[in-house]
């Protein structure tokens, strides 16, 4: 496992889901001022702090053994078991609660590094509001505001530096795996292993499950029609005699890791069951990974006319948010349609990794602005000065200008679609980012951009204040 995993644990309504959204920079977790909204574990990739990590949101632990609480406790138990470290969130405005002490004892039994976060401290004296939580025996509590982001990045870095995993060590050399890396993801029993064996060749025997390695996903290099590939199988590749096993071990963590290592993700769905909520969750994670995406509906040959019409309707209706990805109707067992998958994978890979010159980007941007003027914000027209390519897989277009951080979402989507059409970025997300201010390539004397310099000052200030408090307690 290359990335640290942080579990968010605490009572209902202490701000876990708000913190999850803050850490992942998404709105995936349902947030409302009502306890008990989160029932199942929710996963996302962390984007706050200096390191890469995976964050797991859990349901609240209230201590009530009636209703859904035992089920939520089971979800928390699984999250703690797979996590490297824990954020234990308490409500600073509500003060220390007996349930908090019971949860603290429960967390301690797992022996994982824990950081106690006192939430909802905005506008409060941190020393006063955190004082009563020292008695929980979990080290120094950190006062944060998950809603406003106060001290959140510093808390992440502080916890990760104490984890038994090196956050800067990928633990796996992707350069050793040639060609196009293709991750096969999907729910249990949709036919992932059958598809992998079909793609590798019917007579091929894969005999290296490699238990106990640093990753749970299996990486299999092979060649087809002169093209090198590496298949990343999240189910674990088994001998063909074992493929008949009905229930496959399913792990969201494995899927996230595989997608981040891949160039292209093949999302496999079971045509006989339709598009399920779990399919949509996995698709959301695939989009968040930014990788090229190919959809495949399996077991198509076993569907009757009514079932085929129903699944086509669901594809059109429920998957509008991923309309840029091509859908293949296949049979992994019999091989129909699998050959076409390779053609699309190669096409998506080329689209996601092709380099575009700055002059071409600015030509398309200029034409897009002429065809459809940016909107007025505060009575003034947004001015987009120039664009450059900020990255590949996914293609990332950085646009600089004045006040363009206020660009409305519809105009941003218009630009994304314009760039996609102009450069034939099919099957891959297109990310458009807006930058305001000075030239981003201007460095100060320390070799840092202004944003990096501000970030360094913030981290240094936080750590110095922490050292001061520690020295004060020792006296």
Domain end (from 352, 374, 392):
352
Distance between CA atoms of residues 280 and 318, nearest Å:
9
Predicted local confidence at residue 436, as pLDDT = 85
> Do residues 133 and 203 both lie within one domain?
no
Q: Which of 194-203, 222-231, 234-243 has the lowest mean pLDDT?
A: 234-243
Q: Examine residue 166 and state whether it is found in any structural domain, yes or no.
A: no
> Do residues 386 and 475 both lie within one domain?
no
186 pLDDT above the threshold of 60: yes
Q: Which of 218-232, 286-300, 446-460 has the highest mean pLDDT?
A: 286-300
> Do residues 268 and 222 both lie within one domain?
yes
**Between residues 334 and 465, which one has the greater pLDDT?**
334
> Do residues 231 and 364 both lie within one domain?
no
Counting the structural domains of the chain, the total is 4
> Do residues 191 and 340 both lie within one domain?
yes
- Domain hosting 475: range is 447-475
The whole-number average pLDDT for the span 406-417 is 93
DSSP string, 345-367: HHHHHHHHH----HHHHHHHHHH
Tell me the pLDDT tens digit for each residue of 33-84: 433 333 456 888 888 888 888 898 887 776 554 443 554 577 788 888 889 9
> Do residues 63 and 89 both lie within one domain?
yes
Predicted local confidence at residue 349, as pLDDT = 96
> Do residues 345 and 405 both lie within one domain?
no
CATH for 274: 3.40.50.300
Helix runs in 295-375, H state only: 305-318, 338-353, 358-371
Of 243, 120, 254, residue with least CA distance to 193: 243
Q: Is 0.85 surpassed by the pTM of this model? A: no
Predicted local confidence at residue 311, as pLDDT = 93
Predicted local confidence at residue 262, as pLDDT = 93
337 pLDDT above the threshold of 60: yes
The whole-number average pLDDT for the span 100-109 is 89
User: Residue with structure tokens 């703690």?
Assistant: 80
Q: Examine residue 169 and state whether it is found in any structural domain, yes or no.
A: no
CATH for 381: 3.30.300.20
Q: Which of 28-42, 97-111, 221-235, 246-260 has the lowest mean pLDDT?
A: 28-42
């Amino acid at each position: 496992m290359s990335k640290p995993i942080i579990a968010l644990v605490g009572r209902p309504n202490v701000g876990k889901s708000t913190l999850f959204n803050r850490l992942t920079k998404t709105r995936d977790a349902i947030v409302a001022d009502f306890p008990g909204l989160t029932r199942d574990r929710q996963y996302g990739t962390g984007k706050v702090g200096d390191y890469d990590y995976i964050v797991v949101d859990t349901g609240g632990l209230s201590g009530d053994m009636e209703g859904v609480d035992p089920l939520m406790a089971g979800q928390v138990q699984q999250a703690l078991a797979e996590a490297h470290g824990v954020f234990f969130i308490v409500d600073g405005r509500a003060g220390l609660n007996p349930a908090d002490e019971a949860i603290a004892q429960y967390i301690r039994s797992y022996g994982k590094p824990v950081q106690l976060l006192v939430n909802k401290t905005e506008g409060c004296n941190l020393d006063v509001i955190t004082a009563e939580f020292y008695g929980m025996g979990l080290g120094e509590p950190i006062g944060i505001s998950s809603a406003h982001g106060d001290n959140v990045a510093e808390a992440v870095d502080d916890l990760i530096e104490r984890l038994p995993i090196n956050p800067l060590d990928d633990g796996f050399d992707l350069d050793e795996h040639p060609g196009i890396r293709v991750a096969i993801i999907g729910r249990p029993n949709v036919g992932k292993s059958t598809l992998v064996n079909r793609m590798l060749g019917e007579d091929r025997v894969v005999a290296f499950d490699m238990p106990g390695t640093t990753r749970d996903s299996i990486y299999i290099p092979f060649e087809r029609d002169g093209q090198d590939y590496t298949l990343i199988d999240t189910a674990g590749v088994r001998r063909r005699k074992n493929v008949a096993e009905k229930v496959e071990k399913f792990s969201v963590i494995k899927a996230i890791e595989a997608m981040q290592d891949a160039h292209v993700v093949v999302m496999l769905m079971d045509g006989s069951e339709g598009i399920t909520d779990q399919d949509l969750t996995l698709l959301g994670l695939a989009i968040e990974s930014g990788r090229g995406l190919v959809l495949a509906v399996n077991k198509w040959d076993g569907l009757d006319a009514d079932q085929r019409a129903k699944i086509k309707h669901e594809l059109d209706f429920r998957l509008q948010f991923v309309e840029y990805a091509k859908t293949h109707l296949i049979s992994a067992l019999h091989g129909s349609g699998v050959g076409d998958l390779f053609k699309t994978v190669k096409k998506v890979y080329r689209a996601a990794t092709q380099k575009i010159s700055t002059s071409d980007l600015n030509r398309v941007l200029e034409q897009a602005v002429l065809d459809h003027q940016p909107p007025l914000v505060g009575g003034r027209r947004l001015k987009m000065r120039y664009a450059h390519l900020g990255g590949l897989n996914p293609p990332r277009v950085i646009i600089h200008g004045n006040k363009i951080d206020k660009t409305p979402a519809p105009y941003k989507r218009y630009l994304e679609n314009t760039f996609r059409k102009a450069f034939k970025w099919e099957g891959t997300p297109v990310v458009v980012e807006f930058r305001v201010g000075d030239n981003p390539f201007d460095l100060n004397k320390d070799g840092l951009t202004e944003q990096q310099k501000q970030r360094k000052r913030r981290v240094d200030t936080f750590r110095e204040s922490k050292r001061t408090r520690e020295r004060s307690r020792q006296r």
